Amino acid sequence: MRIGLGLDPSGSVDEVVDRARSLAASGASSLWASQIFGWDTLTLLAVVGREVPGVSLGSAVIPVHPRHPAMLAAQALTVQSATGGRLVLGIGLSHKLVVETLWGLSYDRPARYMEEYLSILIPLLNGEQVEFEGEILRTRTIGPLETPVDSPPPVLIAALAPKMLSIAGRRARGTVTWMVGLKTLADHIVPRITEAASEAGRPSPEVVAHLPVCVTADVEAAKERAGRVFSVYGQLPSYRAMLDLEGAAGPPDVALLGSEEEITSSIRRLAEVGVTEFCGVVFGAKDEVSRTQKLLGEMARS
């Protein structure tokens, strides 16, 4: 199982690049950055990729509603070229609260929206021409895009619910999860997406699991901190549903907390249930962050 680290996209671009350089030096296999309300993450990853060699760069995730799939395809292929083929394109539906309330767009039939989105995005990424008339999305004949790359970036979908896991298994390279615990990964995520991929005659899917992680001698203090730092994810419906499946009261109950040995054991259990890549979203006091990053880097190199 590959081991990656979350890349905080806040601060100046130079600060993000310096942070990425430091994280890559730890030995991590990949760096993953979110798209929230700051920098454009794909542009940021292109800059990081030009400055920081050798490490895979993933988006976790790019919300699809604000970008027509043809525009996202062009942007992703640009980043793929700029980084020498190191992009993993994670995309997702975001949340109704964000899409409708903040952006003023429709969140109607989100799974259908994603299915149609992929019908345009993936052919364009693969260097094909596409013309599509769906129930929600459409495009006149477009492509092939004039973007010479050796290979397109793999597409992962932030899929948690059964319908979305089916789409991810049938149409994409896999899923990228956040705030999903071991039991739910083992009993829900991995079996559903694997079954969908198998029925479609596709390779075994990638399952990239992101979780908060902190090497600490004070687990109770770390739980309290996790409750404050990640509180919003216990309230958003899609994450709340996964926490409920896990039997977790909130984010602290799925965070990986404890000694180096305990964290190592927890990550190994993720591999055993079918997770193909773990991304640690490191938090804690300064010394805890250093210990955690060191451990994950060592695990990535081993």
* Structural domain count of the chain: 2
Average pLDDT across the chain, whole number: 97
Indicate which CATH number applies to the domain containing 122: 3.20.20.30
Residue 78 and residue 32 in one domain = yes
| Pairing mode of beta strands 138-142, 130-133 | antiparallel
3-state secondary structure (DSSP) of residue 95: coil
Last residue of some domain: 151, 172, 190? 151
CA triplet 257, 300, 89: central angle to 5 degrees? Answer: 95
Instruction: Give pLDDT, residue 159.
Output: 98
Instruction: State residue 99's pLDDT score.
Output: 96
Both 138 and 228 in a single domain? no
Residue pLDDT, tens place only, 2-20: 999 999 999 999 999 999 9
In percent, how much of the chain has pLDDT > 90? Answer: 99
Assess whether 84 and 170 both reside in one domain.
no
Report the pLDDT value the prediction gives residue 16, as an integer from 0 to 100. Answer: 98
Cis peptide leading into 61, omega within 30 of 0? yes
Q: State the pLDDT at residue 219.
A: 98
- Note whether 125 and 43 are same-domain residues: yes
Residues 162 and 98 in one domain: no
Same domain, 106 and 233: no
Range of the structural domain that residue 117 is part of? 1-151
**Quick one: average pLDDT of 223-252?**
97
Q: What is the pLDDT of residue 106?
A: 97
Long-range contacts of 84-87 (CB under 8 A, 24+ apart): 84/49, 84/53, 85/149, 85/150, 85/151, 85/153, 86/49, 86/55, 86/56, 86/57, 87/45, 87/49, 87/57, 87/58, 87/59, 87/153
Q: How far apart are CA 121 and CA 110, in angstroms?
A: 16
CA distance 92 to 175: 10
Specify the pLDDT at position 194: 98
Average pLDDT over residues 241-262: 98
Model confidence band, residue 36 (pLDDT cutoffs 50, 70, 90)? confident
pLDDT at 156 (0 to 100): 98
Whether pLDDT at 168 is above 90: yes
Neighbouring C-beta atoms of residue 215, cutoff 10 Å: 27
Categorize the per-residue pLDDT at 151 as very low, low, confident or very high, splitting at 50, 70 and 90.
Answer: very high
What would the two tokens of residue 56 be? 């895979």
Task: List pLDDT tens digits, range 209-220.
Answer: 999 999 999 999
Other C-beta atoms lying within 10 Å of the C-beta of residue 283: 21
Final residue belonging to a domain, choices 151, 166, 184: 151
Q: Mind listing the pLDDT tens digit for each residue in 77-92?
A: 999 999 999 999 999 9
User: Do residue 163 and residue 105 come from a single domain?
Assistant: no
The Cα–Cα gap between 1 and 181 comes to 17
